[in-house]
């Protein structure tokens, strides 16, 4: 190494440099000082610690036979690349966009709904809720029916069989995922169930809570939303008999009667998810409040790693709750059912869960089922629904224009 070049490096180490290099380079500077630098003359590698105290890798191996200006140019290039990478990482961490998940209740297209869809098309039942789903990143409902033109009717009081031609209405309305974990998915036996899976895939919807194998039935459905991983699990605690449960050799549903199984499934899935929600079919039909065990189970699911618990099956709306800041909806009631339903059974709505800066907030938009269609309600009718639901909810939860807030701590939650 020449004396001039050695003197130049020592000057940089001691006093720093701010020298423009080449006309096409920008005027940003590289500052080197004796405390923040390390030069390895043995292998001609140069490592620079930047002004924030972090070493960054140098892709350029300094060639001491090159000119002083060439080597400074290489340093500047690597410094710029590292700074851009760091700025990008920091931006992604700080500026995460909000995520909106949307849940809806029990949906079937048999009986009068089947006739209406045949006459007016698959989109007719959902015309009025499309605008409400536009803002959602993922929309989910409980598909409470077998979807097939065949199969064998099972020996149970109520059996639902919807035509595959009705499924595009769900897709066109804005839904992406359906839960099969309920007491009607196998109403027409194994053949009807496998037809259901094929029909759902045919219209490019996803399903969860059931499958051709045990592994598929208990696996979460995974979505990447705005750079974050969201998983949905589904279970049914309402089944005609154990033959409906998926096994290693038989299609079926995810068993929701075993809390330890639910907890272990959550713990298995959560490590690879930013957020995980459980959609569970449970409770007592037509009852406006959950059973005591449901509140206990919901909390245990959240303690196991779930970020929210959404319920269905009672065919009426029930109250809401936050536990450790995580949302719980005990029953979303019916979403689309035939025209025989009246009163509370015809009251429906859409639940939004908004995730913003790790905070979760629920909001509920009331609708009503009328003549095989989900229809809007007046502002006065909505206010009455919100007031009723607030009275059914827990933990000092308040509902204002559909937005749900918790005004007491978890420790003060109602028993």
Domains belonging to the chain, first-starting first, are 3-94 (no CATH), 99-412 (3.60.21.10)
- 256-263, Cβ contacts within 8 angstroms, sequence gap of 24 or more: 256/181, 256/280, 256/281, 256/282, 259/297, 259/300, 262/235, 262/297, 262/301, 262/304, 263/300, 263/301, 263/304
How many residues in total does the chain contain? Answer: 415
Task: Supply the pLDDT for residue 86.
Answer: 60
- Whole-angstrom distance, CA of residue 79 vs CA of residue 59: 10
Mean pLDDT of 129-138: 97
Mean pLDDT of the chain: 85
For the stretch 318-328, pLDDT in tens is: 999 999 999 99
Could you tell me the CA-to-CA distances from 303 to 93, 189, 324, 359 in Å, in that order?
26, 36, 9, 17
Helix (H) / strand (E) element for 368: namely strand 359-370
For the stretch 26-72, pLDDT in tens is: 333 333 333 333 333 333 333 343 433 443 444 444 444 455 555 55
- Predicted confidence (pLDDT) at residue 315 exceeds the cutoff of 50: yes
pLDDT band for 358, please (50, 70, 90 cuts).
confident
Q: What tokens were used for 322?
A: 């936050």
Q: What are phi and psi of 284, to 5 degrees?
A: -110, 130
Neighbouring C-beta atoms of residue 116, cutoff 10 Å? 20
For the stretch 206-246, pLDDT in tens is: 999 999 999 999 999 999 999 999 999 999 999 999 999 99
The answer to whether 233 and 266 are in contact (CB under 8 A) is yes
For the stretch 252-276, pLDDT in tens is: 999 999 999 999 999 999 999 999 9
Q: What are phi and psi of 156, to 5 degrees?
A: -140, 165
Task: Supply the pLDDT for residue 407.
Answer: 74
- Whole-angstrom distance, CA of residue 130 vs CA of residue 102: 12
């Amino acid at each position: 190494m020449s004396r001039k070049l050695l003197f130049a490096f020592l000057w940089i180490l001691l006093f720093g440099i701010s020298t423009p290099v080449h006309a096409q380079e920008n005027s940003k500077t590289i500052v080197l000082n004796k405390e923040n630098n390390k030069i390895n003359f043995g292998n001609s590698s140069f490592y620079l610690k930047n002004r924030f105290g972090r070493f960054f890798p140098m892709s350029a191996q300094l060639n001491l036979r090159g000119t002083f200006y060439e080597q400074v140019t290489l340093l500047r290039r690597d410094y710029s690349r590292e700074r851009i990478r760091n700025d990008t990482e920091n931006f992604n961490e700080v500026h995460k966009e909000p995520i909106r998940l949307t849940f809806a209740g029990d949906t079937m297209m048999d009986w009068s709904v089947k006739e209406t869809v045949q006459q007016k098309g698959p989109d007719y039942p959902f015309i009025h809720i499309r605008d409400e789903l536009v803002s959602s990143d993922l929309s989910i409902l409980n598909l409470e029916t077998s979807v097939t033109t065949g199969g064998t009717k099972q020996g149970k009081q109520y059996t639902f069989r919807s035509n595959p031609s009705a499924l595009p209405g769900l897709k066109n309305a804005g839904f992406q995922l359906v839960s099969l974990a309920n007491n009607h998915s196998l109403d027409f036996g194994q053949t009807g169930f496998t037809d259901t899976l094929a029909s759902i895939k045919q219209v490019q919807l996803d399903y969860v809570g059931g499958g051709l194998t045990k592994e598929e039935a208990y696996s979460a459905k995974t979505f990447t939303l705005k750079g974050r991983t969201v998983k949905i699990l589904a279970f049914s605690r309402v089944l005609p008999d154990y033959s409906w449960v998926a096994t290693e050799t038989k299609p079926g549903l995810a068993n929701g009667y075993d809390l330890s199984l639910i907890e272990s499934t959550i713990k298995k899935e959560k490590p690879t998810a930013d957020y995980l929600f459980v959609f569970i079919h449970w409770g007592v039909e037509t009852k406006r409040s959950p059973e005591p065990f449901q509140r206990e189970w919901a909390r245990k699911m959240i303690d196991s790693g779930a970020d929210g618990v959404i319920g269905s099956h009672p065919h009426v709306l029930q109250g809401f709750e936050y536990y450790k800041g995580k949302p719980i909806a005990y029953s979303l009631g019916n979403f689309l059912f035939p025209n025989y339903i009246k009163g509370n059974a015809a009251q429906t709505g859409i639940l939004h869960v908004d995730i913003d800066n790790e905070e979760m907030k629920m909001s509920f938009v009331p609708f009503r089922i009328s003549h095989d269609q989900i229809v809007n309600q007046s502002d006065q009718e909505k206010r009455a629904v919100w007031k009723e639901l607030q009275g059914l909810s827990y933990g000092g939860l308040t509902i204002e224009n559909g937005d749900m807030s918790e005004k007491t701590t978890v420790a003060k939650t109602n028993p």
